Chains A and B, each alone.
Chain A
């Protein structure tokens, strides 16, 4: 029967021609310079504070940490951490990189870590919220569904196109952030070591496995996690878009959920079962950087499972509703 590929092609062309993706790129192009400028101002301030030579500063840090390595009273696991820290600082000196002065790659990494819960999902929603409800608002859904194509194929093509643009959005966010912040801070920094491997058990951080990875690899891993979160958000927004006729309303619903998530993250540590909500589990990069999870019992595996369950449930609902529903208007 009909292949789904031409339908995906249709959806892709529609997203591009409807300038949805341009909107996303535009948002990035406008906002990233603003964030970059803010970062640059704060970097200027720190530079003014260390009026001296940053190399001396870093060397002193190394010496201080090496001193604490010698002490018996420092726990063994902290020593490991410090050893890695010294290695990292050493790297800065060896490669003539001022750790207090951001570079394009570091800025991108930090920016992405901050964007994963709200900013990137918002961009994804710009496409996802509109993808089905947009056709209903304009009435073109009737044209779409009176073709000799099964409804699930139509919906599948929209989902695949959405996932394609989700990947594109995530990569575009990285690339644009890097290119713009690089213009301010320089494009180097890919080989800078970054810590990872923190194992969080409850409120304790197990540092025994801490190690440094080059920043490009960290960025890659971060990208992977951002992508997974984005796919989940895309799936949920997709469902909302199927269920709600108005694009604006579906954006509002998704935004409400995401903002609720960020509020809950800050205050829900006492409410343990909140960890089963998808919006509390969006900050996957925390597991990479070693920030303790907001609610006890949350691990990467747990969060991935919660997100997957929500996403799959959303897709099942989307397909069930879409294939059965009467198009009344």
Chain B
């Protein structure tokens, strides 16, 4: 039932989530989630495990009903008009669990029967897209994880969706597979598909996505272009000074410089491990560094090292969530 008149096709918004909340038991798992996904973009959904990513995704595909708020796909309410809304959605929720006792082809036939207008040719088409044609008539139980992932994507693409939802798609894939998948998702987006990708791997989102929503503890903390969000944030500079106490006093006295006491709350373990025992972490603008070095030297403090930490989404995230641990 391809729907011809789309109630609200404005702005090419494929998925709109408005003030969605979900209470399970007595606990509010999702407190307030709002974002839009547009045609042709890859939208990242970033958050630590337990932040409510999976719950949100399940609400997007009507596995869970929100306690309040609305989710619309192409203008159709997912919870009230699920047949129309879900016909625009292809998804893999968590792992691509297929029927292992069927062959790949039989799995695709199975899901094809659940949606009108999918013929043999279309099945063959998606099989070719995900490059599974060699093994498609083998039982899924013999597939590797990467092949299952591809079969899952084939399944999601069957109904010619406008929105593709992938939950942690790189889970369990080897680096080569991850690279292939990334390439593949980009190609899909170039064809006008909106792709919604959730991940707890910040680098993944940064490499792949155009826009991102950051979720923590059931709330969306920020939504925006990945580049903008990164740029809008202050940078960290690590100082190695001698004597330490005097240097620290000097840094603290400057208004434009913020000295960070609890380093482990804002920085990665890998970075902390590379720092000397007396390193001082500050947040400051890049252009202030040279003047500060001069000032310190003039004050008789020897500057043994200055490290600029390139801003990553990771730190951005850490900052936003005030040090909530990711893994």
Contact = CB atoms under 8 A, between A and B. Distances in A.
Contact of B58 (A10, A144, A327): A327
B63 A142 contact: yes
Interface string B75-116: 000000011111101010111011111100010001101111
Contacts of A139: 94-95, 97
Contact of A14 (B64, B87, B95, B110): B110
A18 interface: yes
A1 B114 CA distance: 11
Contacts of A148: 82-87, 89, 114-115, 159
A106 B115 CA distance: 49
B83 A10 contact: no
Interface string A1-43: 1100011011001100111000000000000000000000000
A320 interface: no
Contact of A327 (B63, B84, B114): B63
A143 B97 contact: yes
Interface of B is mostly: loop
Contact of B100 (A138, A144, A145): A138
A140 B24 contact: no
A302 to B, nearest CB: 41
Contacts, number: 88
B1 interface: yes
B94 A142 contact: yes
Interface in B141-192: 155, 159
Given A2-B114, A149-B83, A326 B24 contact: yes
A95 interface: no
Given A10-B113, A13-B106, A328-B24, A1 B62 contact: no
Contact of B111 (A1, A18, A147, A327): A147
A146 interface: yes
B61 interface: yes
A144 B113 CA distance: 11
Contacts of B97: 138-140, 142-143
Given A1-B1, A13-B106, A149-B114, A142 B93 contact: yes
Contacts of B95: 139
A47 interface: no
B114 A6 contact: yes
B65 interface: yes
A7 B113 contact: yes
A2 B24 contact: no
B62 A10 contact: no
Contacts of A6: 113-114
Best-buried of A19, A142, A146, A327 by chain B (most CB within 10 Å): A146
Contact of B89 (A143, A146, A149): A146
Contacts of A217: none
B63 A146 contact: yes
Contact of A326 (B58, B82, B114, B115): B58
A328 B98 contact: no
Enumerate the 7 nearest inter-chain pairs by beta-carbon distance, A residue then B residue, closest first.
A139-B97, A148-B87, A6-B113, A148-B86, A147-B114, A326-B64, A327-B63
Interface of B: 1, 24, 58, 61-65, 82-87, 89, 91, 93-95, 97-102, 106, 110-111, 113-116, 155, 159
18 contacts: A7-B113, A10-B114, A14-B99, A17-B102, A19-B101, A138-B100, A140-B97, A142-B93, A143-B111, A145-B61, A145-B62, A145-B63, A146-B63, A146-B86, A146-B93, A147-B111, A150-B83, A327-B63
